[in-house]
Amino acid sequence: MFRIGIFLLTNIAVMVVVSIVFSTLGLESTLAQNGVDLNLQALLIMSAIIGITGSFISLAMSRWIAKRATGARVITSPQNQTEQWLLQTVQRQAELAGIKMPEVAIFDSPDVNAFATGMNRNAALVAVSSGLLQTMNKDETEAVLGHEMSHVANGDMITLALVQGVVNTFVIFFSRVVGHLVDRIVFKTQRGYGPAYYITSIIAQIVFGILASAIVMYFSRLREFRADAGGAQLAGRGKMIAALQRLQMAHQPAHMPEQLAAFGINASVGSGIRKLFMSHPPLEERIAALYENK
């Protein structure tokens, strides 16, 4: 509830500030003089409703989507010692982290990966790949589970949903403003909206969305460092470092469904400008951070 309250207050404050800026700069009167009859406050509120609602609908469906996107099988009755060990390890870490036991699942993939998702810290899903179980020893797997459990305990799913909701709001808002300006001023549409509005709005939303994703990915990378630190606390720093080093040994970067990439233990990273759009920091930076935080 604290994050929800902060989120709502942040959005209200942003809307108030933007409205004040518009009034101070005389933007609305300037637009009116050019024949632009756009109600900016109403558009901002509409954008917030659309952006935030969409983000939270995605969050509410995250477990359902994750299970079907990866084919994850939730362990209800352990069928072997490995599954029994997974449940026991997650249960122990949940107690240490002060959260309810999440669902534990295995998904069939040769990639060495794992992820956590869910609407809140007490209704989550933690899943590991079959490739991870075949590649990592128990100490390394325990550290990976600790990393994912830290994502859950830190509320990273809802935090990123909140960030995404704010980003979505402004992507929708500014794309509609651009579309309106082009339609009214450039193409001189007098009533309603012409094709230029819809085409321009769609193009602007795609461009702004790509640029705005860098903001979301920045927060995602910060959460990865924090989850590594949490995994080190739950499983041991040596085990967490060993798990990340094991990931470095993988010949191919792991592939995850786009909506789950930010919550995986392993993901592709790039260099230069591509790094701005990556959900995970380079493994060498994550390992160095663990060595520094002794």
Catalytic site positions? 148
Alpha helices (H) along the chain: 2-25, 27-33, 40-60, 62-70, 81-97, 130-135, 138-153, 156-181, 195-235, 237-248, 283-292
Q: How far apart are CA 158 and CA 237, in angstroms?
A: 26
Q: How far apart are CA 105 and CA 67, in angstroms?
A: 9
Q: Give me the residue label for tokens 């979505």.
A: 168
Q: Give me the residue label for tokens 């999440």.
A: 102
**What single string gives the DSSP state of each residue in 241-254?**
HHHHHHHHT-SS--
Residue pair 290/229 in contact by the 8 Å Cβ criterion? yes
Q: How far apart are CA 183 and CA 181, in angstroms?
A: 5
